[in-house]
Amino acid sequence: MSISETIVKELREKTGAGFMDCKEALTQCGGDADKAVDYLRKKGLSAAAKSAGRIASEGVVGSYIHMGGKIGVLVEVNCETDFVARTDDFQELVGDLAMQVAAARPLFVRREDVPPELVEKEREIFTAQARESGKPEKVLDKIVDGKIEKFYQQICLEEQEFIRETGTRVLDHVKSVAGKLGENVQIRRFARFEIGEGQEKSEAC
């Protein structure tokens, strides 16, 4: 199939891989850019894949204040060098992630951070709901697995849809920026504060 130079260029910017490697990946994956990214990573040709194992001990703590001080976010994003931490691309990423946390209310950075007991509790609830709706036993596991995936997409920052690009996960956007910068970039942690959260509001007399 014919692969346009525009698509190849976009894949190069996202992964940092060579032109011919990107073209081959797109050809092998039928022009699907997302599959091509995975193809390059598996072959170790993506700059993000090459840097993923390196230590990211630099970075910045970014902040975002919303609604006139009603919501505040702090997020730490790490990279390998102070030079990259000061670049506009990295600073923009940190700012976007802080806004993501403010808007999408994640509870954890990644799915590995979610306590197993919480996942098991949700699985039990989803299973009971599926049975209650009359779904046959043979499809219960598939239905529940799908609901668990959606659960991760709701509560894990990396699994959420990126607020600035429909159809793109936060993790994929981070990898894209990492590929462009040529360094390992990791979301370390975040904290979200909202006025009155967790408190009962008094009713007016």
Per-residue model confidence as pLDDT tens digits over 60-112: 999 999 878 899 999 999 999 999 999 999 999 999 999 999 999 999 999 99
Closest C-alpha to 9, from 29, 23, 28: 23
**Domain shared by 22 and 78, yes or no:** no
> Is the pTM here over 0.85, yes or no?
no
**Domain shared by 100 and 171, yes or no:** yes
**Domain shared by 119 and 23, yes or no:** no
**Domain shared by 176 and 164, yes or no:** yes
pLDDT of residue 146: 92
User: In this structure, what CATH number is given to the domain that contains residue 37?
Assistant: 1.10.8.10
Angle, vertex CA 174, rays to CA 173 and CA 178, nearest 5: 115
**Domain shared by 141 and 175, yes or no:** no
**Lowest-pLDDT range of 36-50, 140-154, 187-201:** 36-50
**Domain shared by 150 and 162, yes or no:** no
**Domain containing residue 17:** 5-45
Give residue-wise pLDDT tens across range 115-129. 999 999 999 999 999
**Domain shared by 86 and 174, yes or no:** yes
Q: Is the pLDDT of residue 131 over 90?
A: no
Contacts 24+ apart (CB under 8 A), 115-120: 119/148, 119/151
Lookup: tokens for 18: 């060579």
pLDDT of residue 205: 38
> What is the total residue count of the chain?
205
Residue 156: band (very low, low, confident or very high) from pLDDT cuts 50, 70, 90: very high
The identity of residue 19, as a single letter, is F
